[in-house]
Amino acid sequence: MIEVRNVIKYYGNVTALDDVSFTVNEGEIVGFLGPNGAGKSTMMNIITGYLSSTSGDVSVCGIDVLEYPDEAKKRIGFLPEQPPLYREMTVLEYLNFVYDLKKCTLDRKAHIAEILSVTKTADVKDRLIGNLSKGYRQRVGITEALVGNPPVMIFDEPTVGLDPKQIIEIRNLIRNLGKNHTVILSTHILTEVQSVCDRILIINEGRLIADEKTADISRAVGSNRTYSVKVSGPRRDVLRELRALPGVKGAEDTGDGDSDGAVFAVEADRGVDVRRPMFNMLASKGWPIMELTPRGMSLEEVFVMITDEDEKRRASRGVKKTGGDGKR
């Protein structure tokens, strides 16, 4: 559905994208994950034809974006980072304008009524966009992307600046859209891609460092589980026993704690569920567990992990290369 081959983009001397290639299949919801400034927006702007790549090809539904821009653009619905809304228009006027702009051929009234109901914006359709709240503006932006029912939808950070309830609503909306559309969305929130996307592309400093199914990433992320345990017992003894426990890679005294007990951070070996032995051991010593919380990996930790692996991979390739050079 979307094919990106060896895309490179320079802004002056700055490399924004460095040889990025990937494909997105029909009906997939793909998440672009990366810190701010990683090149997510640049990649999306190139797919939609707003920016041009320095080199490389992008095709949407088999149509080259550079060669046949109009045909490609007709097949893409795009919500940029900042929704492109005209404040002085009402929602209905705006959607009618977008309808004309995209040269739609669907029945105007029925189509606009339909997408208004999909995004639940029908009740504000006669209000000026300038007077809408942030959440509604975001939804009007998504409605705009839906005009013409394009097969490919691209959302650049669709949930930034929304309150938690709105974030859940927008995520559900995108998940529903994914049933009939191919969706790419970008975010810097790990849980967002985990809850919405089928596949995750991780991008850092302009390079694609991971292209995995969401389930695989979750497993990778979950492989080294860390727990935060609050134990009622003598600090030093508890720490010593925790460290001695088989399956525990390391344990730290976090220094936190209250009258209930002290809080320890326990990291388990890869693939080992350390909770049972930990419970049994502490119970046998008579030190009750007051709290046990699995600590999810933060995006930063995922990044460190994946970039480390990536660098190791590159380093090993580099060694082979220099070996080859040596023979010459």
Partner 1 sequence: MTAIFRRELRSYFTTPLGYVFCAVYLAASGFLFAVFTLRSGTSDVSSFSRMMIFGFVVLLPVLTMRTFSEEKRLRTDQLLLTSPVSVTGIVLGKFLSALTVFAGSLLLSCLYVIPLGRYAAEHSPVNGARTFGCFFAMFLIGMCFIAVGIFVSTLTESPVAAAIGTMAILILFSTVSLFNGMIDSYAVRTVLSWFSVYARFANFAYGIFDFSALVYYLSFTAVFLFLAVRVTDRRRWS
Task: Enumerate binding residues for partner 1 (CB under 8 A).
Answer: 11-12, 45, 48-52, 69-71, 73-74, 76, 78, 80-82, 84-89, 93, 97-98, 100-103, 144
CB 155 within 8 A of CB 174: yes
With 0-12 CB in 10 A as exposed, 13-18 as middle and 19+ as buried, what is 93? middle
- Nearest distance, CB of residue 15 and partner 1, angstroms: 14
State which residue, 78 or 287, has the beta carbon closest to partner 1. Answer: 78
- Nearest distance, CB of residue 59 and partner 1, angstroms: 16
Integer CA distances (angstroms), 135 to 84, 139, 159, 266, in order: 14, 6, 9, 40
- Nearest distance, CB of residue 94 and partner 1, angstroms: 9
State which residue, 65 or 278, has the beta carbon closest to partner 1. Answer: 65
Q: What are the residues facing 314 on neighbouring strands?
A: none
State which residue, 85 or 189, has the beta carbon closest to partner 1. Answer: 85
Distance separating alpha carbons of residues 216 and 224, to the nearest angstrom: 14
Residue for token digits 């699995």?
294
- Nearest distance, CB of residue 118 and partner 1, angstroms: 19
Phi, psi of 192 (to 5 degrees): -65, -50
- Nearest distance, CB of residue 27 and partner 1, angstroms: 22
State which residue, 83 or 261, has the beta carbon closest to partner 1. Answer: 83
Residues 6+ apart with CB under 8 A from 207: 18, 19, 20
State which residue, 115 or 251, has the beta carbon closest to partner 1. Answer: 115
